[in-house]
Structure 1
Amino acid sequence: MKFSGRMPGAWRPLWCLVTVLVAALGCAGESRAFSHGPRVELQPIDVFRRSNIQYYGGAALGVLSFKGPAQMSAAGDEIARIYAQELLKPGFFKDVRFFARSAASQEEAVWLARTLECDLIMEATIQYLLDGSGSMPTHLDIAVKILDARSGTVAWDLGQKASSNPGKEVDLFWSVKKGAPAERYPAMAKALAVQLVHFLAGLPPEVDTGDGGKGKGRFKW
């Protein structure tokens, strides 16, 4: 019996079909690898003092620049704006305004609130910020205080923490695809702001993540 290096004509269509299927499966695997990017992991809120949001219905809230080291001043403004935008959406407050300034003390913050005609004023501090290219884990810790301008007391005193890790590498047999980078601080700030909105509304920490599932304390943007 003679053997030929050429494939019989009858097998050629089948071989082409197998090749196409393998390529398609490879593309599908690659698509799946990149369809789920890094998630922002949120720790439960540390609650030191809280109030009933219903008591402040229709109040005007001022958001001061978030405090931190001098090199974080730009990040403090950006994060404060993100919080102000998210706090305005649910309609808890009559108005939410961002002010590109900070207060040296709680007394000054209350004075600013009264001067700026705000019923409540948020002064927050960036306690820890680890940001970069996304190739390494990122972290953002924020201490939030919302002060009552009328009484001069603290209405809410909270601690929030977020982190993100780079996506895992995916071995496609013939190549290795790197995972998506860790989320940067603006994405973590937005997740923390949404977490605060849910907390103020009294919603449980297990919320719809928007991807068809539920994640306890987890958000994906």
Structure 2
Amino acid sequence: MVLNRWGMGSRFRHVQRVLWHQYMTEQGYIVFCVDNRGTGGRGKAFKDVAYGDLSQWAVHDQVEGARYLSRLPYVDSNRIGFWGWSGGGYLTCMMLLRAPDVFKTGVAVASVTDFRNYDTIWTERYMGLLTDNQEGYEKANVLNYADGLKGHLLMIHGTGDDNVHPQNTLQLANKFITLNKQFDLMLYPNRNHRIHGGNTQLHLFTLISNYFMENL
């Protein structure tokens, strides 16, 4: 199971969901993380290479990481999945759509799907202006790859998300419906980008755990 917690611009920290990842390893899964080109912590050049198209090197490097995994004698190459949240949810969608023969199951939480829907103070820092980079925005648009879905994809979003608007997930869901692509969807009423409060996190991670166990 490959994870990308936040996605673009940030590298993985071992404290993120550590108890849940430990739980998944106890169920027999291998948890693996790739800090692809475009993430921080390795210098400006490593991060800046992703400028203008946040999908190109991220997809390439995550696929290479999965191929490395598949060569290990104790890994079943037919059972590699991906999960992520926010930007990591974006990458999850990209993995399932652009590398469907590599990743069989994905869970995408609070995903960006079209950067035209996301706030400009963040998007333009990495993508430039839409008027100057329409090609890059199209290449990075998940909806343009929706026909590639073959595996199991669960999309999750809080309807009160004020960071990544739920319209991102709903637009992709509508695209799948148009293409007659089967998928799974969970909406958490009034929950924000963190999808928390009360019993919410227990419900959320029970859902994610069961989805992987049933489909991977």
Structure that is richer in strand per residue: 1
Q: Which has the higher contact order (CA 8 A, sep 6+)?
A: 1
In the superposition, the TM-score normalised over structure 1's length comes to 0.32
TM-score by length of 2: 0.32
